[in-house]
Amino acid sequence: MKYSKLSILALSAATFISACNSKLDLKPADSLDDNSAITEGNVRILANGMYERAQELEYYGRDFMVVTDVGGNDMKITPSNSNRFIYEFQYMYSPLLSPQTKTWQNAYRVANQASVIIDKLPTTENTAGAKGEAYFMRALAHFDLTRRYTRPYSLNKADADKPNTGVVLVMAAIDDPGNYKPARATLNATYDAIISDLKAAQQTAPDTKPGTAGVFRGSKDAATALLTRAYLYKEDWANVIKEATSLLGGKYPLWDGSNYLANFTSDNATSEDIFALRFLAPENRGSNNFGNIYLPADGSATGGYGDIRLTDGFMNLLEAGDTRKAITQNYAGSNYLIKWIGNGQGLTGMANVKVLRISEVLLNRAEAYAEQGNLSLAVIDVNTLRAKRGLAEFTDEANVKAEIKKERRLELVGEGHGMTDIFRKNDKRSIKDADAILPQTPDITTDNYRIAYPIPQIEIDANANIEQNPGYQKN
């Protein structure tokens, strides 16, 4: 089957503008043509369009986070399901899998829209901050695409300068998308572009204060937090520590107290949030709200699909007194994740999506310390988090690397890290739950080609210069 030649970047400024909804009380912009849309006066509308595109159902609205987690060890799908995410859970996807096609498209739309802001608008006092936000969002989109569609850098260092190991890079606004036929970059070039954009955002994006609405936009601190993740994946331990240390030390206080769940159900920014996407009532998707895929199907007003449940392995990690038990709920013998039950606007499952939190930055630094051999410093960071989660000190310094993996699972479950964290550490996906629907080979190791998703077939058909990931050509 052949698809539109404009699949990846068939975008216009009017499309960007119309993506904005009632977050701002603005005149509907559907009637704007490209020339009238891309103006300094529309800079905020254009910037808001980046976030709206990132909030699409098939990106941060649900699918990107869910798919990364169902490919990990902490989520399972049982025979009682609504047919959502089954292939992703079973590692049986193909280049024709529709939701992943749309994730690819939406991420590239974010990247291209960011490039329009960076390239097409003059740099003035009015636009400088928005350009910084655009550098951050372009880096985030490219990074997310890299996480989904390439093998982890830690497994691919020797080949990182080979063609087609990275993703297509949209580092300039595309004026003629119909004739734009880019090839994939090398993996090194991909990471260089991401890091370069984040460094630009560190210089030009707005400053923000924790616990304020500023965390719902890209900021200098958001760029720094994402840099710690990028350097972590590259195993550049010194730079992880450098960037993380600039954020740690009290500016973003770790959550305290026993009501851990309340930090996910608040409609406001919390002290740990560095970058989040806020969902408002007009963005209600009803049964397709993020949280509904996790909430038990109990027939009540707060019930969801109940498709995705917590594994026994995850539940066994929770120690007595761990405040993170509050994000789990046992119903009819199964354990469910209720982090995303709602953000206080009265709409079940509609939640503010937390993309970057200070607890992840702390764990990034702990891992970097441990990999450098600074085990005592790694233990200090681990215990800083454990103390805030109601747990006793960890004292087994020799096994701190395993403890860091455990704490990442407990702290970041449901936030889109599961699959990535397994394979970048050369571990395996292995779920032993008797009620889980698994393929004939339930253990997925890093020699399996499916640890990198296929490039959507729509893109291969539209652009012969894009090479498919190894292993999928036969699909």
**What pLDDT digit, counting tens, does each position of 415-435 carry?**
999 999 999 999 999 999 999
Supply the pLDDT for residue 473.
79
Q: Is the pLDDT of residue 18 over 90?
A: no
- pLDDT tens, position by position, 387-414: 999 999 999 999 999 999 999 999 999 9
Domains of the chain: 13-54+92-199+445-475 (1.25.40.890), 206-441 (1.25.40.390)
Cα 3 from chain centroid (whole Å):
28
Least confident stretch, 278-287, 299-308, 324-333: 299-308
Average of per-residue pLDDT across 274-287: 94
Confidence of residue 13 (pLDDT cuts 50, 70, 90): very low
Confidence of residue 152 (pLDDT cuts 50, 70, 90): very high
Supply the pLDDT for residue 99.
64
Q: Is the pLDDT of residue 200 over 60?
A: yes
The pTM of the full predicted model, rounded to 2 decimals, is 0.93
DSSP for 208-225 reads --TTSGGGGS--HHHHHH
Confidence of residue 11 (pLDDT cuts 50, 70, 90): very low
Distance CA 280, CA 297 (A): 24
Residue 462 burial (C-beta neighbours within 10 Å; 0-12, 13-18, 19+): buried
Least confident stretch, 39-48, 68-77, 184-193, 218-227: 39-48
Confidence of residue 311 (pLDDT cuts 50, 70, 90): very high
Average of per-residue pLDDT across 207-224: 97
Q: Is the pLDDT of residue 56 over 50?
A: yes
- pLDDT tens, position by position, 316-355: 999 999 999 999 999 999 999 999 999 989 899 999 999 9
Average of per-residue pLDDT across 146-151: 98
Angle between helices 358-372 and 375-388 (to 10 degrees): 160
Supply the pLDDT for residue 442.
81
Average of per-residue pLDDT across 70-91: 93
Supply the pLDDT for residue 438.
82
Average pLDDT taken over every residue of the chain: 90
Distance CA 59, CA 140 (A): 12
Distance CA 232, CA 243 (A): 11
Confidence of residue 301 (pLDDT cuts 50, 70, 90): low
Is residue 331 a contact partner of residue 294, using CB atoms and an 8 Å limit?
no
Average of per-residue pLDDT across 173-199: 94
Amino acid occupying residue 382: V
Q: Is the pLDDT of residue 302 over 80?
A: no
Q: Is the pLDDT of residue 29 over 80?
A: no
Percentage of the chain surpassing pLDDT 70?
A: 91
